[in-house]
Amino acid sequence: MKFTWFNLMPWPYLPDDFREKNRSVWVDIDQKLFDPAKSHEVYNTYMDLLDYAGTVGFDGIGVNEHHQNGYGIMPSPNIIAAGLARGKSDAALVVLGNSIALYNPPIRVAEEFAMLDCISGGRLVAGFPVGTSMDTNYCYGQIPSLTREKYQEAHDLIIKAWTTREPFAWNGRYNKLRHVNIWPRPIQQPHPPIHIPGGGSVETYDFCIDNTYSYSYLSFSGYIRAKALMQGYWDRVAERGAPDASPYRAGFAQTICVAETDAEAERLYSEHVSYFYNRCLHVYPGFADAPGYRTIKTIQTGALSQYAPPTGGYTQLTWKELTEQGHVIAGSPETVRQRMEELIKGLNVGNIFCLMHVGNMPADKCMYSTKLFAEKVMPKLRNMFPDYADDDRFWCKPLEKRVKAGALAPAPDRAPQTVGA
């Protein structure tokens, strides 16, 4: 199993009446709600939490990209990842990912990911999302029905830039580059492992299967509701004739809160979980799904955008509903272990993106939950897929000998000896 500790980086100061007074947490969120001075502490706390998680046994620490978003103040995950590459953590850097259709030209991603891989000594796990409609279309202005074609070209260009050892010309529809020759290039060969976040597009299933990329379902609605979608993926894996159905071909994001007892979990975490589900996910439905962004095939499979309002409209979700319906896995280590087992077996997923910082959770509670999960839950879940224990196709392969950040000797008082002088 690969456990990645993930932080969406929510803004923790959305007011109590946010839902009533604002139409959306995303795209046109009120500028006045962001306080740059307060963000100084928020960013540093969040980065310290990620670094901490990387020192207590998580396989990876994860970041992602959102724009103009009150629950994800991380328009550039690469900046956060660069900071983390130099921290105490030695875990994989899971950047899930860069919305490659948004970069002009997309070799910027090939370069920055290469830098991250080089700085971290080969610890990068790269993610290439198409990006949500909110980010890609409404914030970054990409034409919805051309987004996938542009994404595809960006992907092909990045892979070629990573794997070609001489300058080449790229005459694409969206990118015209006479001299592609990225410098630096990644440590990992032929390139860092790639995870593709998706939300039920059939085309994305096929793309992952055909390229041996891991398919990640980054849902907030939990493992029970994810069953049908993930089954659709595994059916497709079989249909498409993939050589195996390794659980590492898939990943799943799950909100997790651990305490000593179930009751303590509710007492400690319910307000923060409520903050996330009832305030942070308040997205104006008009931004959920720009016409043309999803393919007709995907719409016809009946998959609704996870940002589309639920049938019957929004209501305040209670702790009981959120935990019973599996949006959140919370409770004592034993409760969490049982439910995580259900999730892992039920969805057949080897990569778990653990959403352990939730909403406006303060650092002490977050570290408490993280430590309990790492010490009392994770070890018992390690060996869920013994048949695939050697499957390393979807994870990073760091250098054996890596330098430690900040390990330089003190500045010499005298001129250093020149070799050969």
Q: Rounded CA gap, 127 and 105, in Å?
A: 17
Tell me whether residue 27 or residue 372 sits nearer to another protein (CB atom): 27
344 Cβ partners below 8 Å, 6+ apart? 1, 247, 350, 352, 381, 384
Q: Rounded CA gap, 324 and 311, in Å?
A: 19
Task: Show the binding pattern over residues 160-199: x = contacts another protein (CB under 8 A), - = does not.
Answer: -------------x--------------------------
Coil, strand or helix: which one is 237? helix
292: contact with another protein by CB under 8 A:
yes
- The secondary structure of residue 377, as a DSSP letter, is I
Tell me whether residue 139 or residue 250 sits nearer to another protein (CB atom): 139
Instruction: Examine residue 62 and say whether the peptide bond preceding it is cis (omega within 30 degrees of 0).
Output: no
Q: Rounded CA gap, 104 and 102, in Å?
A: 6
Taking the complex as a whole, the smallest distance from the CB of residue 230 to another protein amounts, in Å, to 22
Coil, strand or helix: which one is 125? strand
Binding window for another protein (CB under 8 A); candidates: 249-257, 269-277, 283-291, 373-381: 283-291
- Give the one residue of 6, 52, 58, 138 binding another protein; rule: CB under 8 A: 138
Taking the complex as a whole, the smallest distance from the CB of residue 311 to another protein amounts, in Å, to 9
- Give the one residue of 3, 52, 287, 395 binding another protein; rule: CB under 8 A: 287
303: contact with another protein by CB under 8 A:
no
Q: Rounded CA gap, 114 and 274, in Å?
A: 38
**Size of the chain, expressed as the number of residues it contains:** 421
310: contact with another protein by CB under 8 A:
no
145: contact with another protein by CB under 8 A:
yes
Instruction: Examine residue 192 and say whether the peptide bond preceding it is cis (omega within 30 degrees of 0).
Output: no
- Give the one residue of 75, 172, 232, 285 binding another protein; rule: CB under 8 A: 285
Q: Which 24-53 positions form the footprint of another protein (CB under 8 A)?
A: 27
Binding window for another protein (CB under 8 A); candidates: 57-65, 145-153, 214-222, 253-261: 145-153
- Give the one residue of 302, 406, 412, 416 binding another protein; rule: CB under 8 A: 302
- Give the one residue of 15, 184, 291, 310 binding another protein; rule: CB under 8 A: 291
Name the amino acid, one letter, at 134. Answer: M
Applying CB under 8 A, what is the total number of residues that bind another protein? 24
Q: Which residue matches tokens 């390794």?
A: 246
**What torsion do the CA atoms of 82, 84, 87, 92 make, to the nearest 10 degrees?**
-110
14 within 8 A of 279, measured Cβ to Cβ: yes
Tell me whether residue 292 or residue 346 sits nearer to another protein (CB atom): 292
Contacting positions for another protein (CB under 8 A): 27, 137-138, 141, 143-146, 149, 173, 284-287, 290-296, 299-300, 302
